[in-house]
């Protein structure tokens, strides 16, 4: 790209320097994918330079803030069963009993939560921020965790090939210079039959934050190297002097604790890509992955919306919507609910997994033919003290902690470990439409709502 000499002549020295820097930047970017105007990609020059920025950024603002408590269940296989059910696997086999797990871009807490969720296996947690890993290691030690291995490394540089049964990577690849290339590394690390839990930003949740980040960057762009300290105080000044709270609320700010890390993570992030269901499915496809099912994380559960399927009053419209191919249906939800649509948090599998992907409809059909029993476990927690240490709660509490939603409670109470779900629903006079059955499935048999466990045919 060149600029006519005449145009350059009309510019002041400062403007000319700025334009020249822009052109150089553009040149450096030419090997990276097309940029969109909605995302914060000003600093996305190269994979290495963004990795360096991220290591500094998350070194200064480790994320998230320390957990108030870390929970674990006495049944070490409880979570494995539930992840399998999330995937529509009523035989509990896709994820093996002792899966090899990688938490890629683990931050300060996620690797600990994961190692406690899957206590009978070893978990690897990697991050590019040594500070985040230090905090994580310190807390892991404080609670006596022995099944966690932490590594300071960039996903973009790891050598892992066909190694893990389960890879969790949430809130990470969209901060990298080239998410496709980062995702390729995650795919390579999966065993062919492995499962990837991936969360990337929903475009409609990030329009405001990405705009804010870009506005802050305009104030600082002429100062050369990025200075997060200066950006942080500038962002604070803007928030305090403008009535931006309303618009920030549309960007999920109401769910933040407004710690320094949340504030920085939201408003001065170095790089922020974002997606819709459609562009995420395309990204996955380009990395030989297929989208398996939505994942409702404990975090997502607390948000206003987490259901990807809409319920319409008009029966004909419902029928038309339900008849759409799954990712098209979820894209409609994404577009219609816009900033109120769920987080883009999904399970994926390799295209060469050898396992036929099940649609939600197939999951529901099989769900109807399956018998269930109520789950029962107990939970204990390590609770954070004022001095930063963690104390084990004195008594285990029954788990799940609360009863299922009233809309599905009668079904929960009616299962007997023998009758299929279809028989249970018939006894209760519930018509098994796809929309109704899918709601029941999600509200009773998933990680987010772990109330029922499929009874294995051979043990019945
Ligand atoms: C928003 S935090 C999310 C942390 C964690 N995944 C969670 O959900 O709690 C993003 C984390 O990803 C890490 N990160 C970003 N890019 C990375 C990369 N290429 N390799 C390793 N870690 C990375 C950052 O250092 C940061 O700790």
**Ligand 1 touching residue 175 (CB < 6 A):** yes
Atom of ligand 1 at shortest distance to CA of 103?
6
The pLDDT, as a whole number, for residue 327 is: 94
Q: Give nearest CA residue, ligand 1 atom 27.
A: 107
Rounded to whole angstroms, how far apart are CA atoms 272 and 282? 18
For the whole prediction, is pTM greater than 0.85?
Answer: yes
Ligand 1 centroid, distance to 273 Cα (angstroms): 14
**Ligand 1 touching residue 57 (CB < 6 A):** no
List, for residues 294-342, the tens digit of each pLDDT value.
999 877 787 768 899 999 999 999 999 999 999 999 999 999 999 899 9
The pLDDT, as a whole number, for residue 255 is: 54
List, for residues 100-149, the tens digit of each pLDDT value.
999 999 999 999 999 999 999 999 999 999 999 999 999 999 999 999 99
List the end-to-end C-alpha distance of the chain, in Å, as a whole number. Answer: 70
Nearest alpha carbon to residue 460 among 421, 420, 413, 414: 420
Residue 200 structure tokens: 């990337």
Average pLDDT, the chain: 90
Q: Which of 47, 63, 103, 181 to mutate to test the pocket of ligand 1 (most atoms within 8 A of CB)?
A: 63
Which H or E run contains 17? helix 13-29
Length of the chain: 460
Atom of ligand 1 at shortest distance to CA of 156?
19
**Ligand 1 touching residue 155 (CB < 6 A):** yes
Q: Give nearest CA residue, ligand 1 atom 20.
A: 154
Q: How far is CA 237 from the centre of its chain?
A: 30
**Ligand 1 touching residue 110 (CB < 6 A):** yes
Ligand 1 centroid, distance to 152 Cα (angstroms): 11
Secondary structure percentages of the chain, helix, strand, coil, to 5 = 45, 15, 35
Atom of ligand 1 at shortest distance to CA of 199?
8
Rounded to whole angstroms, how far apart are CA atoms 299 and 110? 12
Ligand 1 centroid, distance to 107 Cα (angstroms): 5
């Amino acid at each position: 790209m060149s600029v006519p000499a005449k145009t350059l002549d009309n510019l002041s020295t400062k403007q000319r320097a700025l334009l020249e820097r822009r052109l150089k930047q553009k040149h450096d970017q030419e090997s990276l994918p097309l940029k969109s105007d909605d995302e914060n990609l000003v600093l996305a020059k190269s994979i290495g330079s963004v990795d360096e920025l991220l290591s500094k950024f998350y070194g200064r603002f480790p994320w998230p803030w320390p957990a108030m408590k870390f929970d674990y269940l006495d049944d070490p296989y409880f979570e494995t069963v539930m992840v399998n059910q999330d995937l529509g696997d009523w035989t509990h086999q896709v994820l093996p009993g002792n899966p090899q797990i990688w938490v890629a871009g683990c931050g300060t807490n996620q690797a600990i939560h994961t190692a406690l969720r899957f206590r009978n296996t070893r978990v690897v947690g990697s991050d590019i921020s040594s500070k985040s890993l230090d905090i994580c290691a310190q807390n892991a030690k404080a609670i006596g965790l022995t099944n966690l291995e932490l590594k300071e490394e960039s996903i973009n540089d790891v050598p892992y090939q066909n190694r893990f049964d389960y890879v969790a990577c949430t809130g990470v690849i969209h901060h990298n210079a080239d998410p496709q290339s980062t995702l390729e590394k995650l795919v390579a690390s999966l065993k062919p039959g492995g499962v990837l839990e991936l969360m990337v930003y929903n475009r409609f949740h990030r329009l405001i934050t990405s705009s804010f980040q870009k506005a802050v960057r305009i104030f600082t762009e002429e100062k050369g190297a990025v200075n997060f300290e200066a950006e942080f105080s500038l962002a604070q000044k803007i928030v305090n002097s403008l009535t931006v709270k309303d618009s920030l609320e549309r960007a999920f700010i109401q769910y933040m604790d407004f710690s320094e890390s949340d504030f920085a993570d939201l408003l001065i992030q170095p790089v922020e890509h974002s997606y819709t269901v459609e562009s995420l499915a395309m990204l996955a496809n380009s990395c030989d992955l297929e989208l398996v099912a939505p994942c409702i994380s404990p975090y997502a559960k607390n948000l206003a919306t987490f259901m990807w399927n809409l319920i319409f009053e008009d029966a004909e419209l419902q029928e038309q919507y339900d008849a759409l191919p799954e990712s098209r249906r979820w894209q409609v939800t994404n577009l219609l609910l816009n900033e109120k649509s769920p987080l883009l948090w999904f399970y994926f599998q390799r295209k060469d997994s050898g396992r036929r992907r099940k649609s939600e409809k197939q999951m529901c059909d099989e769900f109807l033919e399956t018998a269930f029993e109520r789950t029962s476990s107990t939970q204990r927690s390590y609770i954070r003290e004022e001095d930063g240490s963690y104390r084990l709660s004195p008594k285990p509490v029954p788990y799940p902690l609360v009863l299922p939603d009233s809309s599905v409670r009668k079904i929960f109470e009616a299962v007997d470990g023998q009758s299929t779900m279809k028989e249970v629903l018939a006894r209760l006079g519930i018509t098994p439409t796809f929309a109704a059955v899918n709601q029941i499935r999600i509200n009773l048999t998933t990680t987010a709502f772990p109330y029922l466990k499929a009874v294995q045919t051979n043990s019945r």
